[in-house]
Each structure stands twice: as C-alpha cells, then as structure tokens.
Amino acid sequence: MSDEIILDVKNLSTVITTDRVPVRIVKDVSFQLRRGRTLAIVGESGCGKSVTMQSVVKLVSRNYHITADHVLYRSFRSGAPKEYRLDKLAPYGRVMRSLRGPEISMVFQDPMMSLNPVYKIGDQVIEGLLQHNPGMKKREAWARALEMLKKLGIPAAEQRINEYPHQMSGGMKQRIVIAIAMICDPQIIIADEPTTALDVTIQSQIMELMKQLQTEDRKSIILITHNMGLVAEMADDVAVMYMGRVVEAGPIQAIFENPLHPYTQGLLKSVPVLGMARDKPLIAIPGSTPNPADLTEGCEFAGRCPYCEAACLRGVIPSFEAEPGHQVRCLRSAHGEVN
Amino acid sequence: MAKYVAKRLLLTLVMIIIISFAIFVALNNTGVDPISFKLGLDNYTPEAAAELREKLGLNAPLVVRYLRWWKDMLSGNFGYSIAHGYSIRSGLIAKWPATLEISLTAMIVSTVIGIGIGMLSAIWQNSIVDYLGRMIAAIGNSVPEYFFALILIQLFSVRLQLLPTSGRVPAGAVTFWDRLPNLILPVAALAIPMCGNLMRYTRNTMLDVANQEYVKLARSKGIPEWKVYIKHVFRNSMRPVVTVLLFRMTLLLGGSVAVETIFSWPGVGQVLTQAITASDYSVVMLYTLMMAVLMLTISFLVDLFAALLDPRVRLDK
Ligand SMILES: Nc1ncnc2c1ncn2[C@@H]1O[C@H](COP(=O)(O)OP(=O)(O)OP(=O)(O)O)[C@@H](O)[C@H]1O
Ligand SMILES: [Mg+2]
C-alpha cells in the first residue's frame, strides 16, 4: 500500500516569457509523490524549484507556458481513488479550484509578503475553509482556525487571531501561512522553504507537527528546501534539480549514500548534513550558476563538471536508471563508471 | 481615533490662519490698487482716492486690517467687493452652488467611469477594453480642460447643434431635465481629463497589487477569481485610488475656473477671474481662503480614509 502514487508528473516544462523573450525555466521534469511520504526537492537558488511546483498546481501568471505529458493527481479522500489530470484543467476553473485547499495546498516561500495587509489573521485563515464548506458558519470556522493556530504553537492565539499581519513577527507570519495551508486538511502539502524564517527549535517543532500529521493521516508532503539536515530528517525520496532539470532522483538512502550525478556529489560536499561525517571539510562547487537564458544544448552542468567530455555538450542528456528507483541524468552512468 | 481627529482639526485651524495671513500680506503688496478700479479713470483724483481709502478703513496698519477682516468673517459679514462694490455674500458665496454643480457632477461621473474602466482594464489586461481605456486615458491626461471645452463646443454645439454653448438655466426651464443640456458640455470638459487620470491610476495600481504574493496565496485557497479581484486586489488598491481621487477634487475646481469662463457658467470661477484682474483683495482673499479650507479638509479626509482602509495606518496612531 505504501507505493500508491498520489501525484505523478511526467515531462513537465515551463517557459516564462519576459519582455518577449521566452526562457525555458523548467525542462522535462518528472517525479512521483507517494502517498503518506515526503519528497524533498533540492537544488541551488534559481534552479526552478518554486516555478516547478507552481506549474504543477497552475498557480502561475499569464506569461508562463506550461506543457506536460501528464500531471496526474489521485485523490484518495473518499472511497475509490479519483483521478484528475491537472495539466488538462483550466488554471482557475471550478475543478482546479475545488482541489486547491482541500486536496493540494501550498506554503509559499515568502511569509513576509504572503499575507494580505488589510485583513485580520483569522479572516485570512477561514477564507478557504468557508469557500470549501458551503453552509459552514463563520463562528465554527473561526473556532477551527483558533484550534489550528494553537496546534501550530502560536502563543496567545485568541488575541493573535484578531491581529493584522503587520503586528506579527516573521516567524509568526510563517506559522499563519502554514495554518492557512493546513486548515482544509489537504492530502498534499507543498511546502516551499517552510521554515527559513523560523529559529531552529520552532523549525523542528513545525516539522515535527507535519511529520505527525503525515503518519496519522497519511498526508503527502513535497518539501522544497536548501537545508540538507531537514532533508535527512524528513524525506523519503529526493529529487535534485539543476537549471530546471531533475538531474538525480531516488530514495533518500540512495541519494545520500550513493550520489551519482557530479552536481549531487558537489552539493552534498558543500553543505553540512546532520549526522554525516562531521570532520569532512565543506567544498564549494567550482564555477557559478549559468543564466537560464544562455543555455542551449547538452548537459546544463557541463561548464562546472570535472568529468565533462565532448558528448556532454550535445543534445539532451537522457535519464538512466542506475539502480531500481534511482535515476540519473549523466552520461557517466550510461558507461557504468560510477564515482 | 478621536484624539487623532482632534489633533488634525487643530492643525488645520493653525494652517488656515497662517495661509490667510500670507494671502493677506501678498495681496496688499501686488501694487495694483483696487481703489482706482472703484473710482474709474474719469473720477480718479488723489484726493478722492485718499478719502475713499479712509472711509473703507484701508489706512489702518496691516495687522489691524487683518484682524478686522477675521472679525467680519466670523460675524458672517463677508463685506463688499472693493473694486466693484457688490456684496460678497451674493456676488461670491451665492455662486458656489453653480460651481459645485458642475464639479461634483464631473467628479461623480469620472469616479464611476474612471474607476470602473480602470478595473476592467486591469482584469482584462491587453483586451479591447484595456486598449480603448488606455487610449482615452492618454488623451485625457495630456489635454487640459479648456481644450476639451472648445472641442466639445465646436462639435456638439456648432456642428451638430445638439447642445447649448453657454449659460446655466435656459429661459423657461422648470425641471432638472430642462437644465440638463446646459450641464452636459461643461461637465464633460471637466470629467474627461479626470476620468483619464483615474482610469490609468486604477489600472496600474490594480496590476501592481495583482502581482503581490498575497494574491497568489489567495488563489491557492481555491476562491473564485471575482473574489480574488474584489476582496484582495481591489480592496488593496482602494487606498491609493481614493487618495488620488480626493486630491483631484481641488484640481477639478481649478479647472472649472477656465471651463466656467468658456461656457459663461455663473460660478465662482468667473467672479474670481474678474476679481484677480482688479486686485480686489476682499474677494480674492475669501476665495483663496475657501480653497485653502477645502484643500485642508481634503487632506484631512485623505488621512481619515487611509486610516479606515488600512490597518497599518489605523493601528499606528
Ligand atoms: N515570474 C517570473 N518571471 C520571469 N522569470 C522568473 C519568474 N519567476 C521565476 N523566474 C526565474 O525562474 C528561475 C527559477 O526560479 P525559482 O523561483 O523557481 O527558483 P528556486 O529554485 O525556487 O530558487 P530559490 O531557492 O531561490 O527559491 C529563476 O531564474 C528566476 O529568475
Ligand atoms: Mg523558490
């Protein structure tokens, strides 16, 4: 049962046009989210993690052009699973909207900017609840919101719920944003850097809470983060992105113990990972991130890769299955030279 | 809040005293003598002028005259035009309704149309509505009121002979509908530029707000688009739009001076034009003072609306 796929994304691409110049930001991204599991998406800033997830749920503006073989969401909410082709739905149509909140919800990256300055916290938390539960009384919704704020460890919640965003600290806002995402009891939570504004103890508190929900209710989580410690703690599966592509994906042990893509290897060496060899020095990946508009052919990482050869500069590098469930987009894996 | 309002009112009062004194001093130093207008070229002799000056109390020191002026104002005695002799109450104060009629009508018309089309332009960005709206806005923003007045007269009165060119109440008019034709052109001349301005401002503000992260978050709750636009985008655009709208009101009154002259509309604008040329300070003074009071009231209203519409302002006080 643990391998029920709740979200299946196949070859998702997003082109963003700015000033009439189209740039491919997300390229043929495929991943699967298992029910009751956590998928971590990692990769350096600007590699397209946020754009990928926003493209999946189509919370994008008009200058985004999204294509995909399929984006399949399987709802297990009531009885027999029901399937939705998200890629075929109108972004702001009735069906897509009915999924946003009760089925799939998002915690956005920037809590400072994510709350509407003119409404009370409570009103912002209950808005989705009232939308998806026609007939629910405002009082009841308010009570539910209060309960959620308490669950998230907000002190003096009765008072906080009546306050406005500008009266709150960053950490508090972050928790409100999380409350908004969780209030409709969603099946999938997409959390984009959900704890960056929080201090370490609160961070682990919130993560603990998410983890708890997950085990109790079989919720699925997509966790976008830079924090490898968090990945080690939370994730079941990992997808590593580089310049709009998933360059390596697999179960967490495979990625952490046997990273195959040179970028993943570099990434793991460049960040401290909790519980991993503490005495090893941190080594930065040489070179700098290319501009997504400049990339044309071949492997995106070629310019910074120590193993780069002529074949790496041509065409699109395919994905290879190095071991069951462990995919790598690197020609070295095709030759079988590992490490 | 009450304390804040009281503070603002006090400040407004102080401002009025300062402004009125400044105007008083300035008008006394223009070098144009209203007495010479009063006497006319034929009767003017230095002796007659001196006598009249004494009679009108113009020889007292400036400060005394200023205080005397205040005493008159407060007792409801607005005095007489020095140059033309008419009573200010009937010659200036009584003209306000006519001026307010065109400027308030113009304001209401341009608010409804300007904000309405501005909103639609933002929601349907790059649609026909948006292009037409932007075109009108560009024209309205670059052409002054009096120019529209002339074009409108040329088109609707001279060519098409549909609407009258001047006056407020046509002979034999009884109902509002009889007077309506006279109202249309002056109101249109005033409303078009303001409309253009509001349209552009509403559109740009809404597009700005629509790109905010909190609008994305609102959409992620699954609420319908009309709610996103009304509750989140428009609600957050209201404060800047209302501010611009209120400040445009003073410009509207300024614009009505020219428009009234062109359409022979019997409002304060006409009286003012006359008074300025004669340096008729009792008239100019009161007009300017009324404008100052209006401006201060408006800026007070702007602050009040800001506090009403935005908790960040309200709770700071
Ligand atoms: N609305 C937009 N218009 C144009 N370009 C965009 C837009 N949003 C994102 N991009 C570009 O897309 C690329 C990927 O951005 P994205 O926000 O997905 O990165 P990320 O992986 O989430 O980074 P971070 O870790 O900093 O959040 C960046 O190069 C960014 O400049
Ligand atoms: Mg991001």
Q: Following CA atoms B42, B46, B48, B53 in sequence, which dihedral angle do they give, to the nearest 10 degrees?
A: 120
Regarding the beta carbon of A46 and ligand 1, being less than 6 Å apart is answered: yes
Residues 6+ apart with CB under 8 A from B109: B187, B191, B195
Structure tokens at A168: 């709150």
User: Ligand 2 center to residue A44 CA distance, Å?
Assistant: 9
Query: Where is average pLDDT lowest: A89-93, A284-288, B70-74, B252-256?
Result: A284-288
Whole-number Å distance between alpha carbons of A36 and A47: 26
Query: Are A248 and A260 in contact, with CB atoms under 8 Å apart?
Result: yes
Strand locations in B129-275 (E): none
Regarding the beta carbon of A25 and ligand 1, being less than 6 Å apart is answered: yes
- Are B221 and A110 within 8 A, CB to CB? no
Identity of the residue in B214, B222, B236 whose CB atom sits nearest the CB atom of A98: B222
Regarding the beta carbon of A48 and ligand 1, being less than 6 Å apart is answered: yes
Is the pTM higher than 0.90? no
Amino acid occupying residue A33: L
Query: Are A198 and A227 in contact, with CB atoms under 8 Å apart?
Result: no
Q: Does B221 touch chain A (CB under 8 A)?
A: yes
Residue A1 has pLDDT above 50, yes or no: no
Regarding the beta carbon of A45 and ligand 1, being less than 6 Å apart is answered: yes
Whole-number Å distance between alpha carbons of A62 and B124: 11
What domains can be seen in chain B, in order of their start residue? Answer: 96-277 (1.10.3720.10)
In this prediction, residue B257 carries a pLDDT of 85
Query: pLDDT higher for A289 or B119?
Result: B119
The DSSP letter of residue B230 is I
In this prediction, residue A273 carries a pLDDT of 59
Residue A307 has pLDDT above 80, yes or no: yes
User: Ligand 1 center to residue A244 CA distance, Å?
Assistant: 10
The tens digit of pLDDT for each residue in A292-306 reads 777 678 898 988 888
Q: What distance, in Å, lies between the first and last C-alpha atoms of chain B?
A: 7
Across chain B, which has 317 residues, the per-10-residue mean pLDDT values are 78 85 80 68 74 75 85 80 79 85 92 93 88 87 82 82 75 75 86 90 94 94 94 93 88 84 85 81 81 84 87 76
Percentages (nearest 5) of helix, strand, coil residues in chain B: 80, 0, 20
Question: Using 50, 70 and 90 to split pLDDT, how confident is the model at A272?
Answer: low
Residue A244, by phi and psi: left (phi above 0), alpha (psi -120 to 50) or beta?
left
Residue in chain A closest to B214 (alpha carbons) equals A114
Query: pLDDT higher for A283 or B245?
Result: B245
CB atoms within 10 A of CB A215: 9
Q: Among the atoms of ligand 1, which is closest to the Cα of residue A48?
A: 18
The tens digit of pLDDT for each residue in A311-335 reads 888 888 888 998 888 999 999 887 6
Residues 6+ apart with CB under 8 A from B198: B110, B111, B114, B115, B118, B241, B244, B245, B248
Question: Using 50, 70 and 90 to split pLDDT, how confident is the model at A339?
Answer: very low
Regarding the beta carbon of A50 and ligand 1, being less than 6 Å apart is answered: yes
Q: A14, A15, A49, A224: which to mutate for ligand 1, most atoms within 8 A of CB?
A: A49
Residue in chain A closest to B308 (alpha carbons) equals A118
Nearest chain A Cα distance for residue B220, angstroms: 6
The tens digit of pLDDT for each residue in A22-76 reads 999 999 999 999 999 999 999 988 899 999 999 999 999 889 999 999 999 998 8
Q: What is the ipTM of this complex?
A: 0.88
In this prediction, residue B160 carries a pLDDT of 83
From residue A234, give the alpha-carbon distance in Å to each of A205, A227, A241, A256: 12, 11, 18, 13
Whole-number Å distance between alpha carbons of B133 and B92: 38
Question: Using 50, 70 and 90 to split pLDDT, how confident is the model at A17?
Answer: very high
Residue A201 has pLDDT above 80, yes or no: no
Cα A127–chain centre separation: 23
Ligand nearest to the CA of A52: 1
Residue A131 has pLDDT above 50, yes or no: yes
User: Ligand 1 center to residue A231 CA distance, Å?
Assistant: 21
Identity of the residue in A108, A128, A180 whose CB atom sits nearest the CB atom of B213: A108
